[in-house]
Structure 1
């Protein structure tokens, strides 16, 4: 029998097909849940990842729907989550995602997720909260996602996850998520942000963290800007969560949704960035978000190789910390 040369590092592919608290199409017709299902269908990312890893499990989170009345609380603060309440459903779904990510890590597995929309990053951050030491975040996105309720022009919750993770708003809400630890602004790198320079994009956007965007890229080149930002981040932490919103890619490559701007990154730039991150940090988890397969038929063809590359980079980053592919460190 031929020797299995695939990497033995165990991976969990976690699909979280929710958008603003529901799996149904949003009134704005955001169909990112369909993107999660398409990307993690057996013949897509799981097949590609299994070609290089010999221990890959796929977990679809299907038990956080709104019709079920759920009871949660901390201490004496117990309350009900009612069907139909978007914020309550979003919280419940982030709690469930945090539990699944933490459980995978507890078994020594690396979580690579496909999440419907960016606010699900709150559950990802909760799920890695067991890590020892300081954690940073590298956030790839067309948008800044850094508003607060006070600065948002429209109150759009999914325009706030970076600020929430940085501990700048929604304090009681975020702390309901098990394991959640804030990641201070000086440990956040935001990459892409092309909507800041789109004349048709949002007119008001707030930023958080070190920025790798058009001005820094024009001054230093993409590689120079990324490496400068990562080297600076390395002074404050040695572990990171990596978030990749599909709309960070240039529209010539992929129009991931209706909310895109030109001037984004090439897939190769994202792949190289994952390698540079892996050289400097342990990648605790990676999540891909906000891909609508109805918006552009190229989606899986572009994103599947990036999911595979992210898995390889995360495994390499762990191996460099433990000096062996087969470590079961959580």
Structure 2
């Protein structure tokens, strides 16, 4: 079954690992490709074009002395290029499917969508909050900061990629699967009033109720929903190939059912799947999981 989602999909790879603390996630886009994501989408009935990868000049990366933003120069450059590419794809009437790469690439993906869809809801699947700023980050890794940047918080070289008039609205962001939050992130989420469905809520309410509320929050009075899926939202037994594993994550059916419900809402306008690290994986188990989850999000059901 193919839901009423844009029939033309453009795949964009972003082989960036400079925002993470562990190397190897730059191999994620090809791992998901190798797992057959393009063929899976074509079998559902989509027209798919793989646009290749955004260039990443890793050799030019550096960190300013006394800065708490590692590799800022290249991460800013890559996200700027990605933002332009996503906007171009959407302007051509295509659905951008971005394959990462670490989660800092969400700055580029979502800022590109926001240039086309001025009011955007975001459902953020992640074990972590990714809402640190340079002042609150314990590591200086920018993959822990994209939500803050998209809200207009943090370093100017990153927030300018989004643009002053394009920042996300906090009331249309929903977290799913959170279970490892820094103290600064907990404070920021409370201060911003962002909706967070932790694993406790999934256990307590059930995934159906959680997703019904999430889709309502992200979909009401917006021009569509973007899904940002960090593979560490899943339990490590399902997705071992990610650099920031946290036990007690979503199980196989919870994740698929959650994405199936988003597909059925027919409000999806863009998506990204990130943090697949083949160097930490077992026989591309996590890359395969990502490819299958893409299928569920885009309407791959038995009947």
- TM-score tier (shorter): 0.7 to 0.9
**Aligned counterparts of 1:278 and 1:167: Cα–Cα separation in 2:** 29
CA contact (8 A) 1:253 1:266 kept: yes
State the partner residue of 1:20: 18
RMSD: 2.6
Structure 1 residues 196-249: Cα deviation after superposition (integer angstroms, max 9, x where no partner): 4xxxxx676435321111332233222212212332343342412110001111
Structure 1 residues 273-297: Cα deviation after superposition (integer angstroms, max 9, x where no partner): 2232234462221000001112122
Aligned length: 282
Structure 1 stretch displaced more, 134-143 or 52-61: 52-61
How big is the shift at 1:44? 1.8
Structure 1 stretch displaced more, 171-180 or 82-91: 171-180
**Aligned counterparts of 1:175 and 1:8: Cα–Cα separation in 2:** 29
State the partner residue of 2:94: 109
State the partner residue of 2:66: none
**Aligned counterparts of 1:15 and 1:155: Cα–Cα separation in 2:** 24
SS in 2 for 1:189: strand
Q: TM-score, length-normalised on structure 1?
A: 0.77
Structure 1 stretch displaced more, 153-162 or 11-20: 153-162
**Aligned counterparts of 2:130 and 2:144: Cα–Cα separation in 1:** 4
State the partner residue of 1:155: 140
Q: TM-score, length-normalised on structure 2?
A: 0.83
**Aligned counterparts of 1:215 and 1:8: Cα–Cα separation in 2:** 34
How big is the shift at 1:8? 8.5
CA contact (8 A) 2:103 2:143 kept: yes
1:30 to 19, 23, 31: 23
CA contact (8 A) 2:99 2:274 kept: yes
**Aligned counterparts of 2:162 and 2:78: Cα–Cα separation in 1:** 10
Structure 1 residues 159-186: Cα deviation after superposition (integer angstroms, max 9, x where no partner): 1111111223234532135798211211
State the partner residue of 1:264: 249
Gaps of 5+ in 1: 1-6, 68-81, 197-201, 314-330
State the partner residue of 1:326: none
Aligned CA distance change for structure 1 residues 280 and 171 (closer, same or farther; 3 Å)? farther
**Aligned counterparts of 1:222 and 1:248: Cα–Cα separation in 2:** 13
**Aligned counterparts of 2:58 and 2:160: Cα–Cα separation in 1:** 21
- Does 1:48 find its partner at 2:35? no
1:47-196 matched pairs, under 5 angstroms: 47-66=39-58, 84=62, 86-177=71-162, 181-196=166-181
How big is the shift at 1:143? 0.9
**Aligned counterparts of 2:297 and 2:134: Cα–Cα separation in 1:** 33
State the partner residue of 2:68: none
**Aligned counterparts of 1:93 and 1:192: Cα–Cα separation in 2:** 28
Structure (1/2) with the larger helix percentage = 2
